[in-house]
Structures are given as C-alpha cells and as structure tokens.
Amino acid sequence: MSADTALCADPNYNFAYIDEQTKRMIRRALLKAVSIPGYQVPFGSREMPLARGWGTGGIQVTAALIGPLDRLKVIDQGADDTTNAVAIRSFFSRVTGVETTQKVAEATIIQTRHRIPERPLTEDQILVYQVPQPEPLRKLEPSEVETRNMHAWEEYGLMQVRLYEDIARFGHVATTYSYPVMVNDRYVASPTPIPKFDNPKMNMMPALQLFGAGREKRIYAIPPYTKVRSLDFDDHPFTVQSWTQPCTLCGARDSYLDEVIVDDSGGRIFVCSDTDHCEGRRELGHVGPAEDSERST
C-alpha cells in the first residue's frame, strides 16, 4: 500500500507538502493543545499554497497528522463538492497520494469548515476544523494581551455580556454560529463558524477534535470524551435551530437544513447541508415530500 501511495504522490514535494521539522513543530503544539483542552496554543504558521483565511490552519494540522494509510474527507459548508473542499482534497491527494472519500464512515481524518457531520464520529476518527477567528472574546476585547489574561484568570463575564446584549436587543440569543462553549469547565473556546446546531455534538464526542487557525497562528483541541457546554443564562437556556419542514430530498427531520432558492419567483426548498448524510439516506430509500416546496412572492 505504501509503495502504491509513494507512486501516486507528487515526487517534487515532501510527503504532505510541509517539511518534517515544521510537522514536528505543529505536532508539539497539537500535543500541548490536547493536554490543555480549549487552550489556544501559538504555533509558527507557515505560508501555504492557499490564501490565508481559506483553511491554511486546518491544512497544516491535517498535514502534520496524515500518514500514507489515512483516508481523508474534506467538508466545506457540509458538502464535499464545493470549491474549498474540492481544492483541499485534490491538494492532499497530490502531495500525499492518500485515498480520499466522501463517506464519513470511511474517513480517518475529516477536515471541515462550517459543519460537524450528522453521522456520529468514532474513536478512530479525527475531526480537523479550519478556524478563521480562534478568540471568542475578540469582538468585545480587541487587545490580545487582555484576552490572554482573561483566559488565564477565567474572567469570562465579558463573554456573558455578549449573550446579554443579544437578549437585550433581540429577545433571545441571536448568535447562531461560532456560539461560545466552555471546554472541560475551564476555557471558553470558539467552535468556529459551525452552526450552534452542531454544538451539542461536540460534548463527549468519541473523536479527537483539533482546531487550526492559520492566519491567527493558533491551535487548540478538544480531546475525546471531553465535556463541552454551550454558554447560556439560567432563564434563557441554550437551544438549537429547528425547521418546520423536513429535507426536500431525503425527508430527514433531524439534520441541519440549508435554504436553497430554486427559481426567480421566490421558490425555495430546504435540503440537508450534510450531503453525505442526505445521499446515504436516499440510498436507503428515504424520500422527501415531492412537491412540498414553499412558494411565496
């Protein structure tokens, strides 16, 4: 197998693009991150053949982890066929020659942007998040020195102020993505732009969760079976999004749905954001309500 993959990998690059010393540096940061769940570990982020902000943090984490026997899945907005996912997948198959897959069940490493797969992950899998802004306090406190102190001293009143502001303005917590979580009862962390629908999946997840922010040069982690709690108020408990109709294609009522505009007259349908989940269900014979698409003018 390894001989095969060596043949497939582009011989002009080191395995997984990054040189071995850099991989060691990233692995050291990863080990520290896993040891202190939720703590943001600085690392020497490298230039990648991709614009910063497009997933360079996730790519570096994946590159430091991946071996010739791994199977990689890349998710962008829940889908495998969007630009970012296609580009990153082809990048890794070129520089490592590893097998790629679109099926969650077959993957050993899943690099993701915006979603956690609907299918529960297992102990044999690693979920790598691409993180644009690792600092959950940044919107309220611009000083990096100050936010680091706040983490060190567990001064998280400010984070609660952000939720307070939401309720004061909108009557409910209007934050729907990057919803802050408390990891292992110690560090407040940003789960990156996943919808808050996915937050409960992070709690006690059997898979290892790694977060890489390339532009901000930070790595953090949530080890398997770690307590992750979404912040809330006693009288405004945390809730996730819900939809009035099921997925138009597969009829799922328990997955995260995307709204898709289908014509120029305002016709729209709701479909599963997780394409692998939706296809899997359709293969099993599930169908959606055929002509149930809502029309409004």
Residue ranges binding other proteins (CB under 8 A)? 140, 149, 152-153, 155, 157-158, 160-161, 164-165, 167-169, 232-236
Catalytic residue (one of 38, 78, 97, 280): 38
Q: Is 117 left (phi over 0), alpha (psi -120 to 50) or beta?
A: beta
d(CA 190, CA 127): 15
Q: Which helix (DSSP H) or strand (DSSP E) does residue 161 occupy?
A: helix 157-170
- Catalytic hit among 55, 272, 280, 288: 272
Least distance in angstroms from the C-beta of 158 to other proteins: 7
- Beta carbon nearer to other proteins, 233 or 243: 233
| Catalytically annotated residue among 212, 214, 247, 280 | 247
Question: Which residue's CB is nearer to other proteins, number 36 or number 158?
Answer: 158
247 is catalytic: yes
DSSP 225: T
Q: Which of 250, 251, 267, 285 is an active site residue?
A: 250
When the beta carbons of 23 and 196 are compared against other proteins, the nearer one is: 196
Name the one residue in this structure whose structure tokens are 């992070």: 202
Q: Is 8 a catalytic residue?
A: no
Cβ proximity of 115 and 84 under 8 Å: no
- Paired residues of 259 in beta bridges: 270
Q: How many CB atoms lie within 10 A of CB 135?
A: 21
Give the nearest distance from C-beta 69 to other proteins in angstroms: 45
Residue 283's CB is within 10 A of a number of other CB atoms, namely 9
Rounded Cα–Cα distance for residues 88 and 101 (Å): 13
Q: Which residue number, 165 or 279, has a Cβ lying nearer to other proteins?
A: 165
Min separation Cβ 163 and other proteins, Å: 8
CB 213 within 8 A of CB 133: yes
As measured in angstroms, the least distance from the Cβ of 221 to other proteins is 24
Show which residues are catalytic: 38, 247, 250, 272, 278
